[in-house]
Amino acid sequence: MRVVKVRSEGLSHLSYFVHSGPDAFVVDPRRDIDVYLKLAEENDAEIKHIFETHRNEDYVIGSLELKNRVPSARIGHSDAIDFEYGDDSLADGEKIEMGSLEITCINTPGHTPDSMCYAVADTSVSDDPIVVFTGDTLFVNEVGRTDLVDPDRTGEFAEVLYDSIHEKVLPLGDHVIIHPAHGAGSVCGGDIGDREFSTIGYERKHNKWLSMGRDEFVQNKLDQELILSPYFKHCEKLNTIGPPLLSEREPVRVLDVEIFEEMRHKPEHVVIDTRNPQAYLEGCIPGSTSAYLGALGMIAGWVFHPDQVFLFVLDSPTEMEEARSYLIRVGYDKVLGYLARGIAGWREAGNDTSSMRNYEIRELKELMDKDGLQIVDVRQPHEYHSGIIEDSKMIPLTSLEEKMGSLDKKKETVTICPSGIRSTTAASMLEMNGFEEVGVPVEGLHAWRKAGLPLKKE
């Protein structure tokens, strides 16, 4: 048996291609599915099954996309809710044989009612499981969220998750390798470890959540501060009814400056500039939103909407496919095209650009001491515990659109985050909404700390 992990950057999503001899299955595929087809070809294997661990909230599943290319593959997911697509409604304890592999389906509700783990045994050696795909039930150093189905039922789902872990996952045995659906940086956990695999025994010993009693576990879940993004419901809906096939999309267009200028003014159209924050601050197309390519997978669902039509400003045309993949993974399929020759072509055509101030860290501190600024910290709630700049306003990027009305548009405003990426996105959103003077310390809070400047503990 061979397990190949497929990492989707930005979302910190982990999917898996598993094969034994000529037979293979895939766990939680993403929508851009060529990677699984390539693995099948390289290993001379046929994909027989596509297993989903749950109805995901933070990305759109690629099961239908994969089945469209491999019609004989069977999509399986839990029988706990009614999906409008798929082949197999899998019951708790159901077993599926594939060559020498035996896959046991384990319903582990808590994160969602339909959460499933898949324990796999290599029967050519033993009937004991050797690996379990834990979805969002158990991560490295963390466990799944319990607030996504209904925030008012967080405690109730926490109790259910506690039982699932202790009664169904841990008894599989300390030797069993765990492969979760997410790694560090995912919004599906508060403190997921950097390592992307573990064993049940290691987690039993080192994962703080597994050492808690039921009451402490539930209370800590109630106290956990994690973001709730509007796009979660969009993904949940598509993952219930089945997302449209990507072959139904319009092809991406290369837009000359004249057409781009016409298209960018349409109300539903959004210009996304994926260049690095420094380049964006030095000069950008007025009204564009900064979303650095390396973070677009994370930012897309936080600040954009699925009914918008997207136009791109790229460093290179070769980045278009990557940029589009980040959007389709969260179900944002309306990608119109990209500006031919990028910002250079825009300038050569005689069009204006706008710029924003990039504050040096020491300069920012001096201005704060003398004049006072409107500092907006756009990190996630759980990040504030590591310290905030005195008198800064805490508005996570995920909430900025709805809460920017609480800020003074006429006051000099500085957005800040650890590295300048999210804060540049935030600054572009504020400027687009009429803030008169906006800037960013592109070195971010990392540089603030390195300079030994004070932070207030929350």
Q: In the prediction, which pLDDT does 382 show?
A: 82
Residue 109 and residue 59 share a domain: yes
Residues whose CB is less than 8 angstroms from the CB of residue 405 and which lie 6 or more positions away in sequence, other chains included: none
Tens-digit pLDDT profile for residues 351-388: 999 999 999 999 999 998 877 789 999 998 888 988 99
H/E run at residue 133: strand 129-135
Residue 457 lies in a domain: no
Could you tell me if 57 and 109 lie in one domain? Answer: yes
| pLDDT for 138 | 98
Give the pLDDT of residue 250: 87
Helices and strands per DSSP (H, E), number in the chain: 15, 22
Are 109 and 191 in the same domain? yes
Residue 368 domain flag: yes
- Same structural domain for residues 402 and 316? no
Residues 187 and 126 in one domain: yes
Q: Are residues 339 and 372 in the same domain?
A: no
> Inter-axis angle of helices 296-303 and 320-328, to 10 degrees?
50
User: pLDDT by residue (tens digit) across 328-349?
Assistant: 999 999 999 999 999 999 999 9
| Structure confidence at residue 228 (pLDDT) | 80
- Could you tell me the pTM of the whole model? 0.91
Domain containing residue 263: CATH number: 3.40.250.10
Report the number of distinct structural domains present in the chain: 3
Last residue of a domain, one of 348, 373, 395: 348
Residues annotated as catalytic (active site), given as ranges: 417
Task: Say if residue 279 is in the same domain as residue 381.
Answer: no
Do both 57 and 160 map to the same domain? yes
Residue 458 resides in a domain:
no
Question: What is the pLDDT, as a whole number, of residue 381?
Answer: 86
Residue 23 covered by a domain: yes
DSSP notation for 345-407: HHHHTT---B--EE--HHHHHHHHHHT--EEEE-S-GGGGGG-B-TT-EE--GGGHHHHGGGS
Is 13 strand, coil or helix? Answer: strand
| Count of CA atoms in the C-beta half-sphere (13 A) of 217 | 25
Clarify whether residues 174 and 303 are in a common domain: no
- Please spell the DSSP secondary structure of 60-123, one letter per residue: ---HHHHHHHSTT-EEEEESSS--SS-SEEEPTT-EEEETTEEEEEEE-TTSSTT-EEEEEEET
Whole-angstrom distance, CA of residue 427 vs CA of residue 266: 22
Same domain, 259 and 222: no
Question: Does residue 353 sit within a domain?
Answer: no
- Of 214, 240, 266, the residue at which a domain comes to its end is 240
- What is the CATH classification number for the domain harbouring 89? 3.60.15.10
Give the domain range for residue 212. 2-240
Q: Are residues 206 and 277 in the same domain?
A: no
Q: Of 240, 271, 301, at which residue does a domain stop?
A: 240
Q: Write out residues in the chain with pLDDT < 50, as ranges.
A: none
DSSP state of 191: S
Residues 215 and 264 grouped into a single domain = no
In this structure, are residues 102 and 96 in contact, taking their beta carbons and an 8 Å threshold? Answer: yes
Residue 186: per-residue pLDDT: 82
pLDDT for 428: 98
**Would 144 be classed as within a structural domain?**
yes
Q: Is the residue at 150 inside a domain?
A: yes
Domain assignment present for residue 287? The answer is yes
